[in-house]
Amino acid sequence: MKLEIKNVTKKFKSKTAVNNFSMVVEHGQCVGLIGPNGAGKSTLIKIISDILYADKGEVLLDGKKISNMKREIGYLPQYPDFFHWMTAKETLFFMGQLSGISKEKLIDEVPAILTKVGLINEQNEKVQTFSGGMKQRLGIAQTLLHKPSFIVMDEPVSALDPIGRREVLNLIQEIKHDTTILLSTHILGDAEEICERFVIMKQGKKIEDTTINKLITNNQESVVHLEIASSDLKWVELIEKLPYVKNVELIGKRAKVRLDNVQLNKNRLLRDALESNIDIVKFEVGSSDTLEEIFLKMVVSV
Amino acid sequence: MTPLYILTKKEYVQMFREFKIIWLPLVFMFLGATQPVVTYYLPSILAALGGNQGITIDPSMTQQDGAQVIAATLGSQFDQLGIMIIVISMMGIIQSDKANGMLDFILTRPVKVGAYIGGKLLSNFSFIAISVMLGYFVSYVYVNFLFNNIPFLEMILAIVFYLIWVLFILCFTFMISTIFNGQGVIALISIVCLLIFKIFSGLHPIIDLLNPAGMSQHAMMVLITGSIDSHLYGNMFITLVWITLTVTFSHYWISEKKYHKN
């Protein structure tokens, strides 16, 4: 299943939630849609799953309008909520039948899928007694039930506690081999764990479409991470004036020192430190930013 | 199995689980019994409560015709408390699905908006119609027992006309529930509008022709006079047009996705 999003724009009164957004998701890919709160992720996901209409642009699945392809889509909302008076099993029967699966088939498949999401022991309990994590898992079961070739998930783990989060992430890991997945999150670590490709959104616009490796290589700049005793912090101010030092960022006792040519100059810096009789706790050469920092920089600065 | 069937069945199961299937018919049966019983015992009640302060009741004055009593069941019980009860039991019909996201969820499945609306209206109308008929039947039995017999055909005709007005009540509440998001607002608007329709019925023939509450008026007239008013068919046709309009508007509102809050 190939998903094409073409120039989608959606306005709410004066606010533009999604602004001329385009992307293509190839068959079998797992794409993480990342952005800060209010970036328009949920709106975009709702447009993709045909809950909202776009003001402009269109969403095509295999070249066909998404509204004609509902059978092929599995949708997991941010806070899946079902009819409280239904049991887990009834919920899956209800949603399954609405997706056009016959009752006979569901009798076979529902217990299997409930086992997969770990709700088989709660199958006859009412949804109103379920915790957030259980509802999320039931939501995933519902998403997978009709074997869609394309799954859209809106913040599948953001609202969960660490245990629930782990359970759901493992589930997604399992299913990602069989289907195309698009999921949104504002937590980079989650996307990093599941997806190979990231699309970063800010104020309704796509600001980056990349893979995790590219993201790191592009932003990789070797720096010297330096940790020294607090009594010697004055020296940090001095090295900033050295000709081969580009700049120094000081956070607490740790300094991040950017050099003109790290390979060449790191030893000069070390020698300088030794000559000045500095109490060195740590001296390390590494990449300048964690993924989190790269993400923050993009979202805040662009 | 079509989505219409599945959604209709779901509504019935929900009525069972929420015990609506018990209390709504009971309420209407109670309402149906109230009018004949209170009317019958009114002289005794007045005599007992009035004491001997010089009030005398001429029993022949209070002796009412059975047809009038059952017409009063429709006009003063069902059309007042009855309307409120129907509206209150139906105000969440779409609103609750909007609030918990099930409407969105259901429509991400290959389900047509028509099937969704159809399932809701089919199940709820059949249920309310049965409740109202039960209440009406209880009233009929009491009237036959305490007053005089009512011709069977007139009794049936009257309830058929009345049920068209009930269908309008349901579709109107349905539309309001589709448009607005607060239960209180939905109940208030529906009850006020429907009671206004009711108050305006019988004021002027032209207004009556356009007024869906005219169907209730016609039902009462059939019972009291035993004959069908010449304006009935026009009024019935226009009421059906109103019903179609409310349903079409709800369909438009949901399929254009105007129900989202922002």
Domain ranges, ordered by start, for chain B: 3-255
Q: Which residues of B touch A105 (CB under 8 A)?
A: none
Is A152 in the same domain as A225? Answer: no
- The whole-number pLDDT of residue B43 equals 77
| Residue B160 CB partners (closer than 8 Å, separation 6+) | none
Share of chain B above pLDDT 90, in %: 71
Residue that wins the pLDDT comparison between B212 and A176? B212
Residue A146 structural domain: 3-217
**A242 in Cβ contact with A236 (< 8 Å):** no
Q: Which residues of A touch B110 (CB under 8 A)?
A: 70-71, 98-100
CB contact under 8 A, B14 and A77: no
Provide the CATH number for the domain around residue A296.
3.30.70
- The whole-number pLDDT of residue A166 equals 85
Share of chain A above pLDDT 90, in %: 24
Is A8 in the same domain as A106? Answer: yes
Q: Which residues of B touch A106 (CB under 8 A)?
A: none
CB contact under 8 A, A81 and B100: yes
Q: Which segments of chain A are extended strands (E)?
A: 3-12, 15-25, 30-34, 56-61, 64-65, 73-76, 150-154, 180-185, 197-202, 205-211, 222-228, 245-251, 254-259, 280-287
CB contact under 8 A, B1 and A97: yes
* Domain end (from A162, A195, A217): A217
- The whole-number pLDDT of residue B174 equals 97
Minimal CA separation from A65 to chain B, in Å: 13
Cross-chain CB nearest to A85 (options B17, B108, B110):
B17
Is A226 in the same domain as A183? Answer: no
* Backbone phi, psi, residue B134, to 5°: -60, -45
Confidence of residue A257 (pLDDT cuts 50, 70, 90): confident
Best mutation target among A83, A99, A125 (most B Cβ atoms within 10 Å) is A83
Long-range own/partner contacts, residues A126-129 (CB < 8 A, 24 or more apart): A126/A84, A126/A85, A126/A86, A126/A87, A127/A82, A127/A83, A127/A84, A127/A85, A127/A86, A127/A87, A127/A88, A127/A91, A128/A84, A128/A85
Is A135 in the same domain as A251? Answer: no
* Domain end (from A185, A217, A249): A217
Question: Tokens 């209150």 appear where?
Answer: B88
User: Would you call A245 helix, strand, or coil by DSSP?
Assistant: strand
Residue-wise pLDDT for A266-283, tens only, equals 888 888 888 888 888 888
Least confident of A183-187, B82-86, B106-110, B139-143: A183-187
Report which DSSP code applies to A204. T
Residue-wise pLDDT for A103-112, tens only, equals 999 999 999 9
Highest mean pLDDT pick, A189-193, A272-276, B117-121: B117-121
Cross-chain CB nearest to A77 (options B14, B105, B109):
B105
Confidence of residue B28 (pLDDT cuts 50, 70, 90): very high
Share of chain B above pLDDT 70, in %: 94
Is A269 in the same domain as A293? Answer: yes
Minimal CA separation from B183 to chain A, in Å: 18
Name every residue in A having a CB less than 8 A away from some CB of B.
12-13, 46, 49-53, 70-71, 73, 75, 77, 79-83, 85, 94-95, 97-100, 102-103
Is A76 in the same domain as A34? Answer: yes
- The whole-number pLDDT of residue B56 equals 65
Polymer length of chain A: 302
Mean of the pLDDT values across residues A228-246? Answer: 81
Distance between CA atoms of residues B105 and B101, nearest Å: 6
**B85 in Cβ contact with B27 (< 8 Å):** yes
Name every residue in B having a CB less than 8 A away from some CB of A.
1, 3, 6-7, 10, 14, 17-18, 100-102, 104-111, 256-257, 260, 262
Residue-wise pLDDT for B120-145, tens only, equals 999 999 999 999 999 999 999 999 99
Distance between CA atoms of residues A98 and A95, nearest Å: 5
Residue-wise pLDDT for B215-250, tens only, equals 999 999 999 988 888 889 999 999 999 999 999 999
Minimal CA separation from A50 to chain B, in Å: 7
- Mean pLDDT score across all residues of chain A: 85
Confidence of residue A295 (pLDDT cuts 50, 70, 90): confident
CA nearest B257 in A: which residue?
A: A52
Per-residue H/E/C for B48-99 = HHHCCCCCCCCHHHHCCCHHHHHHHHHHHHHHHHHHHHHHHHHCHHHHHHHH
CB contact under 8 A, A97 and B17: no
Q: How many domains does chain A have?
A: 2
Q: Which residues of B touch A98 (CB under 8 A)?
A: 3, 6-7, 106, 109-111
Helices (H), chain B: 3-17, 20-50, 59-62, 66-72, 83-90, 92-99, 102-108, 113-146, 152-179, 183-200, 205-210, 214-225, 232-255
CB contact under 8 A, A75 and B101: no
Cross-chain CB nearest to B107 (options A51, A83, A100):
A51
**A165 in Cβ contact with A52 (< 8 Å):** no
Minimal CA separation from B18 to chain A, in Å: 8
DSSP-assigned letters across all residues of A48-105: HTTSS--SEEEEEETTEEGGG-GGGEEEE-SS----TTSBHHHHHHHHHHHTT--HHH
Confidence of residue B51 (pLDDT cuts 50, 70, 90): low
Confidence of residue B101 (pLDDT cuts 50, 70, 90): confident
Is A11 in the same domain as A44? Answer: yes
* Backbone phi, psi, residue A3, to 5°: -105, 130
Provide the CATH number for the domain around residue A146.
3.40.50.300
Is A149 in the same domain as A14? Answer: yes
For residue B47, is pLDDT > 70? yes
The sign of the CA dihedral B223, B227, B228, B231 is negative
Is A110 in the same domain as A208? Answer: yes
